[in-house]
């Protein structure tokens, strides 16, 4: 499953040379162009290159205009040979993200043929030391396209930047506000727009409720058939809620289509229970699996984090709580009411009763409602990453879901994650818990299949967000404001 990219990343290439270097510069550049053309098919980006070398200031001005006309997102400047430092001063004024590229020498003795690496070193230094007013930075690359050092480093950049360019200009819907009491999930829409280019339409729950009742019976019946194909239905009680689940799926689809929304955050309780007599978890799971990313409890910033993970990985993300940890094997327990996904589930997800939809009533027992999409995570590598609601910091964690029948298990969507790494470094479960709590990290954890920490970190670095630093566990009280 792919993540519904709105558009491909646009990558541009220019080659810098100095005429008195003797290496076969045209051969090197042609080889580079052909390698990137092939890579553009593999990594699914658009590729533009300047045919002529950049030698003079006027060449640089023309090359910059050419790339700006193509609306390049990432400009790759190759030091095909050593070149004048004046050239990068012009090209660094691009609106695009910037990469500088050096290639290995093509002979092993005699006159130095290219001196490419030295030129990249010069240009990187000029950007920082001589052009600080531009506020520009660049990522360096070395090697030919087929070299592992270049290829892996470049793929990380492509995935990170395509996430950024697809997030920018997004419009999300917040339906019904935040879940009551979940005030740590507040955000400032001004910062969301200025830093990420994301806008949010705030929609009343009543508007969604109206759409819920307006859905045609034919559309609802069609979705009911899809639900029965995709899920195992737990019992007759749950069966009685399938029509409502289908109706809600239709309503959210229509809302998303009318507003052209790239994702939705919906406050799932208490109004679904009190006004529609259902829980929406199963519908959210269904919608997210088909590409209409829908998150619970009105958590806009988790939605943003999930969309970034989806654009990076080509895979749907899922939102979990962190409910327990086990120091004996350094694992953590991820759980949520019932937003189980077929892409994560060990076996077919099951539509079941909600574990706790309401309070115990004397003489009536516990309130029962449905449907939730229950599942256990299949064994798989995974990445957890989240931007803080202050929109200035983030964390990223990787690990592997394990299936150990001896470990505690609960109703809902759930799994134990082991082999924990925090920002690529092994971390104990206790140090992780301490870090999250001392640093006051929000209680929602976006998860995506695969190991994507490098890509997420690079995206955050381009966006200039700060990492949530590890705080090793101590027995004494720790104040993160005093740790820095």
Query: In the predicted model, what is the mean pLDDT of the chain?
Result: 96
Q: What percent of the chain has pLDDT over 90?
A: 95
Measure CA 359 to chain center.
36
Write down the pLDDT at residue 418: 98
Buried b (16+ CB within 10 A) or exposed e, 428-445: ebebbbbbbebbebbebb
pLDDT at 250 over 60: yes
Euclidean distance between CA atoms 306 and 317, whole angstroms = 6
Q: Can you tell me which residue has the tokens 């086990």?
A: 326
* Contact between residue 336 and residue 291 where contact means Cβ atoms under 8 Å apart: no
Closest CA to 436 of 475, 465, 472: 472
Mean pLDDT over 36-46 rounds to 98
3-state secondary structure of 39: helix
pTM of the full structure: 0.96
Mean pLDDT of 403-428: 96
Q: What is the pLDDT of residue 367?
A: 86
């Amino acid at each position: 499953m792919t993540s519904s990219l709105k558009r491909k990343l646009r990558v541009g290439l220019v080659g810098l040379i100095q005429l008195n270097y003797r290496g076969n510069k045209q051969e090197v550049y042609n080889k580079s162009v052909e390698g990137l053309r092939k890579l553009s098919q593999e990594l699914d980006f658009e590729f533009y290159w300047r045919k002529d070398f950049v030698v003079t200031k006027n060449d640089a001005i023309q090359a910059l205009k050419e790339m700006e006309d193509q609306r390049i997102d990432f400009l790759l400047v190759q030091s095909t040979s050593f070149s004048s430092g004046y050239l990068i001063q012009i090209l660094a004024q691009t609106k695009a993200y910037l990469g500088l590229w050096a290639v290995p020498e093509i002979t092993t003795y005699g006159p130095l043929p290219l001196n490419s690496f030295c030129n990249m070193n010069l240009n990187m230094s000029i950007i920082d030391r001589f052009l600080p007013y531009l506020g520009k930075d660049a990522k360096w690359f070395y090697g030919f396209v087929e070299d592992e050092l270049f290829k892996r480093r470049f793929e990380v950049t492509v995935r990170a930047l395509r996430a950024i360019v697809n997030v920018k200009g997004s419009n999300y819907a917040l339906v019904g506000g935040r879940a009551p009491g979940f005030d740590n999930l507040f955000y400032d829409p001004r910062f969301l727009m200025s830093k990420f280019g994301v806008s949010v339409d705030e929609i009343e729950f009543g508007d969604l409720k109206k759409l819920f009742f307006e859905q045609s019976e034919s559309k609802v019946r069609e979705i009911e058939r899809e639900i029965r194909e995709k899920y195992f239905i737990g019992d007759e009680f749950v069966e009685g809620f399938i029509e409502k689940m289908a109706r809600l799926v239709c309503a959210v689809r229509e809302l998303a289509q009318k507003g052209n929304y790239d994702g939705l955050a919906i406050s799932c309780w208490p109004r679904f229970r009190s006004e529609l007599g259902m829980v929406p978890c199963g519908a959210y799971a269904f919608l997210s699996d088909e590409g209409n990313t829908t998150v619970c409890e009105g958590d806009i910033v988790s939605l943003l984090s999930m969309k970034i993970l989806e654009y990076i990985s080509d895979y749907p993300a899922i939102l979990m709580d962190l409910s327990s940890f086990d120091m004996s094997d350094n694992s953590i327990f991820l759980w949520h009411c019932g937003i189980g996904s077929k892409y994560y589930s060990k076996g077919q997800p099951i539509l079941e009763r909600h574990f706790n939809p309401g309070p115990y009533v004397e003489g009536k027992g516990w309130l029962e409602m449905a449907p939730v999409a229950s599942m256990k995570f299949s064994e798989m590598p995974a990445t957890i990453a989240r931007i803080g609601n202050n929109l200035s910091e983030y964390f990223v964690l990787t690990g592997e879901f394990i299936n150990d029948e001896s470990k505690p298990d609960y109703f809902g969507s759930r799994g134990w994650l082991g082999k924990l790494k925090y920002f690529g470094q092994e971390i104990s479960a206790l140090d992780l818990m301490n870090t999250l709590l001392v640093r006051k990290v929000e209680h929602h954890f976006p998860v995506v299949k695969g190991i994507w920490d490098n890509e997420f970190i690079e995206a955050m670095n381009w966006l200039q967000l700060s990492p949530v630093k590890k705080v090793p566990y101590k027995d004494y009280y720790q104040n993160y404001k005093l740790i820095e």
